[in-house]
Amino acid sequence: MNKQIYLDYNATVPLLKEVKKSLIDCMDVGPLNASSIHYYGRKGKDIIDVARTNLGKLINTNKNNIIFTGSATEAINLLFSNFNTIVVSSIEHLAVLSSSKSDHIIPVTRDGIVDLNFLETYLKKLVKNNKKTLVSVMWVNNESGVIQPIEEVVEIAKKYECLVHCDAAQALGKIKINLEEIELDFLTLSGHKIGAPTGIGALVYNDKINLTPQILGGGQEKGMRAGTENILGIRGFGEAAKIMINTKENNCSQVEVLRDFFQQKIKDYRPETIIFGEKANRVANTLLIALPQIPGDLALIKLDLESFSVSSGSACSSGKISKSHVVSSMGYDKLASNSVRFSFPPNDAILNSESLITTKELDMLARCWSNL
């Protein structure tokens, strides 16, 4: 059997070895319900506290402002259920677009960057009659990898007294997040994008703003998310966060070399390939491309047959490929069913903890692309 080459890290990062070990250790501790008063309950509480501390350190925020949820999607739904008016960018993940049900949509440029002039003009008109408006713009787009100008978004939103949420699911582990340096009100995160198990997310919130929970019950997570805590998920998220803290900031240079090598090979072998967001500030691990004549689903199947696991970036939960609203929003409507996403490990630490992807394999992959 051929070696499978996984290049779909933006979909999910494999459970890190160290995280897996920490989960097994945690399972060996005993029955952990953090609400219990006894020894095991206290152990459970400590595990959650350590994880919250690690995550707080990673993004430089007070751990008490972090609520663990079942996913980033849940964190976003919890937040959005508190707002009637939500302004979103056109390239947001479906977790944002579906749960906001917003028709206040800010377009992006052809490079995939949120249009700041449009945002400013839009907010100027909108907030006149609207007191409680939330602006939600993602930090890094999951399909194109384009980094959004979050500082500027915050500056504009604050000028019009809006609150700001940032979906940072694809930013964590790829770029520096320092909440002391940016005046965000809310941030949402997903554990499995940095090597924790799936099924754990977080909402980071400004505690001056009262939020109403969606899930009611035993008062866990300061009453913001009831239900006996997912201790294994939380432990995994905390351990993955610890590994990210210990890796040097923005340490993606090896990943970038691989991505850029592959991008160049694609250009050499098939020059008509369109590279989305090439001129924009992109994270080091992502490459979104298309060929005008080749549907994305066909490309994925052919690459899969050659043992390369990649993605269209726009697959829905049924696994079916839909038109990419991101590619469409960037002005490439005719290519919206053709895009294919190659996503490398988010940073060098994860690259090195996994089996390394060689330039020989990437050359083979680029040749497969050229033969589509």
Give catalytic residue positions: 316
Question: Which residue from 23, 95, 172, 289 is in contact with ligand PLP, where contact means CB under 6 A?
Answer: 95
Whole-angstrom Cα distance, residue 28 to residue 45?
16
Q: Nearest CA to 5 among 370, 372, 366?
A: 366
Q: Nearest CA to 361 among 283, 290, 308?
A: 308
138 binds ligand PLP (CB under 6 A): yes
Q: Nearest CA to 186 among 160, 215, 164?
A: 164
Site for ligand PLP in 4-33 (CB under 6 A): none
CB of 75 to ligand PLP, least distance (A): 8
Total residues at the site for ligand PLP (CB under 6 A)? 12
Which range, of 66-74, 119-127, 128-136, 259-267, touches ligand PLP by CB under 6 A?
A: 66-74
Nearer to ligand PLP, 93 or 265 (CB): 93
Percent helix, percent strand, percent coil in the chain, to nearest 5:
40, 15, 45
Contacts of 82 (CB under 8 A, 6+ apart): 211, 212
Nearer to ligand PLP, 145 or 160 (CB): 145
Nearer to ligand PLP, 265 or 282 (CB): 282
CB of 37 to ligand PLP, least distance (A): 32
Nearer to ligand PLP, 71 or 347 (CB): 71
Longest CA–CA span in the chain (Å) reads 65
Task: Write the DSSP assignment of 210-271 as a string of letters.
Answer: ----SS-SS-TGGGTS-SS--HHHHHHHHHHHHHHHHSPTT--HHHHHHHHHHHHHHHHH-T
175 binds ligand PLP (CB under 6 A): no
Binding mask 155-174 for ligand PLP (x = CB under 6 A): ------------x-xx----
CB of 145 to ligand PLP, least distance (A): 11
263 binds ligand PLP (CB under 6 A): no
Q: Nearest CA to 134 among 187, 88, 188?
A: 88
Whole-angstrom Cα distance, residue 93 to residue 355?
29
Question: Which residue from 72, 154, 184, 303 is in contact with ligand PLP, where contact means CB under 6 A?
Answer: 72
Question: Which residue from 44, 195, 201, 345 is in contact with ligand PLP, where contact means CB under 6 A?
Answer: 201
**Residue 272, Cβ density class (10 Å: 0-12 exposed, 13-18 middle, ≥19 buried):** exposed
Chain positions contacting ligand PLP, by CB under 6 A: 71-73, 93, 95, 138, 142, 167, 169-170, 190, 201
